Amino acid sequence: MVFSSVDFLFLFLPLFLLAQNLLPWRNLTFVLFSLLFYFVGEGWYTGVIVVSTLANYGFGLAIGTAQETGRRRLLLAAGVAFNLGLLVVFKYTGFLAQSLLGVGADSWLLRIHLPLGISFFTFHAISYLVDIHRRDAKAERSLVNLSLYMLMFPQLIAGPILRFHTVARQLRRRVVDARHLYYGVVLFCFGLAQKVLLADTLAAVADPLFARSETLSAQTAWLATLCYTLQIYFDFGGYSNMALGLGWICGFHFPRNFNYPYVARSLTEFWRRWHMSLSRWFRDYLYLPLGGNREGAAKTYRNLLIVFLLCGLWHGAAWTFVLWGAWHGLLLVAERLGLGRVLARLPRLVQHGYALLAVMLGWVLFRSADLSEAGRMLARLFGAGNVTDMAAWDVLTGEQAFVLGAAALLALPLLPALLSRWVAMPLMAGEWLRTGTRATSEQTDDASFENRAATRRAWAQPLPRHRYALGLLLAFALFLLSLLKIMTGAYSPFIYFRF
């Protein structure tokens, strides 16, 4: 079940909202609905996530109560090994068997089912255990609360990835008032529109073009890459916004996951703006434990490469993802080696061009089914093969051309900045801090990308009512437009679903 399906929007979500608002034992209700959400999509494989939750509950208590450092470390190692073991068995067995043992395509090892969201809940579990080990958080004594952290349906299958210490307090106590509901509804509708109106429409351009990569001209190959570049942003970004919105409705303040990544001027900046919850997870639980940038340049570069190779592998069990990770890792190292300094002396437009080109070429690796398709597509991008194809403009319908233009515009922070003058925008600078709850470190991370002065201004001034009314009107209009596509069963792939 995905958030943009009729069964979620018109059955699961309203029933959940009624239960959440009318029944007692709200965390338990939330957990049961989350289990149902998972069970609907995965059936008996729900057992995997249940076992994972129970095991991590046990590991957490054991680590939390252990006094000796050695024993704590041993228990942590066992817990992490258990979680990574689950991930390897379900996600990487086929890939490893094919790559290392050369098993045939008909082997049962290649048919092992990949449970939904296993990459996400595994990272949640590791975060939980490490945070307890580091004493950043206490072991959760309530199985219901831990289950909620692991299973919470808004972020269960596609994130954002929550580090345990940032939500531990909210698991125990949180508040929902009308303004939280407003933020939640508006964010959800914005995310829904990004996913359904933008990403799905662009997918209908990109998918057929990638499917016939051997017949593309340079022009249509660039169109395919551009459409996919925007599709993946609005697909995942939209889904993240829906998750954030659902979080607000339930009293959780998840960290923002995207911050206009395509305005970055380097890959280093791109990774501060793209899938920020994943970047933070890798930073806190892999890059820093490896030594980060504290042990000299060579080890910093090594650490970066390790992190990005694993980041690529986390996205999927295929060499295209490994290559994608390596591409990003190598460019990040190159930027540290001096490319960054060279870029800084160039005009801003060139810097933007470099970052966008690097990201788009990376997406070709990411999108391609295998290395040969990736190679073919990259060759087409640079005119190899001298193929004659239809003009890029002829590929697009009126709707697709309009959406491509709109998506390109909305990938920039121009329109939201303009809208925030009239509309109470949930994602405007500092809105996270306007909730009346103490800012978590993740929220502070967010704010670090934004104008802190603007944050303080926004916090100090209550917004006039008409700005909330306009926000609701806008959200309602976007919801209705999205419904036109959702109800008619228009093409709707979801890229991050199987990660």
- List active site positions: 315
Instruction: Specify the residue, 144 or 419, whose C-beta has the smaller distance to another protein.
Output: 144
Residue 253: name the closest of 449, 56, 443 by CA: 443
Smallest distance, Å, CB 436 to another protein? 11
The tokens describing 47, both together, are 């057992």
Residue 139 is classified by DSSP as P
Instruction: Specify the residue, 183 or 496, whose C-beta has the smaller distance to another protein.
Output: 183
Instruction: Specify the residue, 180 or 315, whose C-beta has the smaller distance to another protein.
Output: 180
Smallest distance, Å, CB 166 to another protein? 18
Output the 3-class SS for 427-471. Answer: CCCCHHHHCCCCCCHHHHHHHHCCCHHHHHHHHHCCCCHHHHHHH
Instruction: Specify the residue, 104 or 393, whose C-beta has the smaller distance to another protein.
Output: 393
Smallest distance, Å, CB 449 to another protein? 29
Instruction: Specify the residue, 70 or 436, whose C-beta has the smaller distance to another protein.
Output: 436
The tokens describing 50, both together, are 């249940």
Chain residues that interact with another protein, rule: CB under 8 A: 1, 5-7, 9-11, 13-15, 17-18, 20-22, 26-27, 39-45, 172-178, 180-181, 185, 204, 249-251, 389-391, 394-400, 402, 483-485, 487-490
Place of tokens 């193929």: 387
Half-sphere CA count of 113, side-chain side, radius 13 A:
10
Q: What angle do CA 148, 154, 160 make, to 5 degrees?
A: 95
d(CA 313, CA 307): 10
Amino acid in the structure at residue 207: D
Smallest distance, Å, CB 349 to another protein? 31
Instruction: Judge contact between 314 and 119, C-beta under 8 A.
Output: yes
d(CA 431, CA 156): 24
Instruction: Specify the residue, 184 or 316, whose C-beta has the smaller distance to another protein.
Output: 184
How many CB atoms lie under 10 A from the CB of residue 480? Answer: 11
Continuous H helices in 43-99: 46-65, 69-87, 93-96
CA 441 to chain centre: 18
Instruction: Specify the residue, 29 or 293, whose C-beta has the smaller distance to another protein.
Output: 29
The tokens describing 297, both together, are 């340049």
Residue 370, classed as helix, strand or coil, is coil
Smallest distance, Å, CB 22 to another protein? 7
Residue 495: name the closest of 214, 229, 124, 211 by CA: 229
Smallest distance, Å, CB 141 to another protein? 15
Instruction: Judge contact between 411 and 227, C-beta under 8 A.
Output: no
Smallest distance, Å, CB 487 to another protein? 4
Smallest distance, Å, CB 236 to another protein? 23
How many CB atoms lie under 10 A from the CB of residue 272? Answer: 17
Instruction: Specify the residue, 24 or 338, whose C-beta has the smaller distance to another protein.
Output: 24
d(CA 469, CA 457): 21
Residue 253, classed as helix, strand or coil, is coil
Instruction: Judge contact between 360 and 411, C-beta under 8 A.
Output: no
Smallest distance, Å, CB 16 to another protein? 8
Residue 270: name the closest of 191, 329, 224 by CA: 329
d(CA 163, CA 442): 9
d(CA 201, CA 198): 5
Instruction: Specify the residue, 109 or 144, whose C-beta has the smaller distance to another protein.
Output: 144
